[in-house]
Each structure stands twice: as C-alpha cells, then as structure tokens.
Amino acid sequence: NAALNYGILGLHTCGDLGPVLIKMFVKDAKAVLLESVGCCYMKIEKHFPMSAFIRDVVTSWKLTYTNAELACHAVEMYADRLRTGEQDKLKVHCYRAVLEKLLVSKDPQLKHTILKSVNNAHLLPFHEYAAKATSKLS
C-alpha cells in the first residue's frame, strides 16, 4: 500500500543502533514516529557525533569511553540499591572492573573490550562471572 505509514520503535538500542534508527527515520517520509531508548553509549563506533555543529564547530568536545560509560549509569539507581539493601546487585560493577584489569594485564588491546552480559552476575562467584563474560572473546 503506497499510503502505508509506520513507526520505528527501539528498546535498548545499544551503541550504534540508536543513531542508525534516527537516520532511517529521517530518510523515509513514511516513517511517522520514532521512539528509541538508547543505551550502551560506550559501544558507539561509527555514528558520533551526528550533529554537524558538534562535529564542525565544537571541536573540543569528544565522546570518550569514560563519559559515554557514565551516560549509561544513573547515580539514582545506585543510591536506591544502597538504600533498599540491594547493594549486592552492584557487585557486577566490581567484577567488571577487576576482570578488565586482569584482561588488560594480559593484553593491553583488551582495554574497554565488549564483554558478554551475564544475567544475575551478583549471584555468581567471580570465576563463573569471568568465564561467562569472556565466553565470546577469541
């Protein structure tokens, strides 16, 4: 149907997927709605900055791994977990930091490498978390 309009929906548009959806939306007049919930900004590799102003004029601002990583984490969530006695769920961040330190000591090119997400990591001992998180590394 030539008159068919559609919407583009994205939940957990990890890394470059968010910018790709925006570009798809802009290029197609039949796309009448865009709803995108971005995440994992530290995984953006090709589509930043999208703004010509930021790219051409504000050259002092760069997307570093640190500020992209911080954009993914709300301090309110951490405070709520501490307040409600769920601090053990924050263990995964400690696990990730220790694992990265170990990986980088073995191979510096593994700094900020993308690891596999591990469900219920806070319930696992470190060695099980590490095995699961690195299962897709070559």
pLDDT digits (tens, 9 = 90+) for 78-132: 899 999 999 998 899 899 999 999 999 999 999 988 899 999 999 999 999 999 9
Sign of the torsion angle spanned by Cα atoms 56, 59, 65, 70: negative
Record the pTM. Answer: 0.63
- pLDDT tens digits, residue range 10-37? 988 888 899 999 999 999 999 999 999 8
In angstroms, the Cα distances linking 91 to 26, 29, 71, 76, 85 are 41, 46, 19, 16, 13
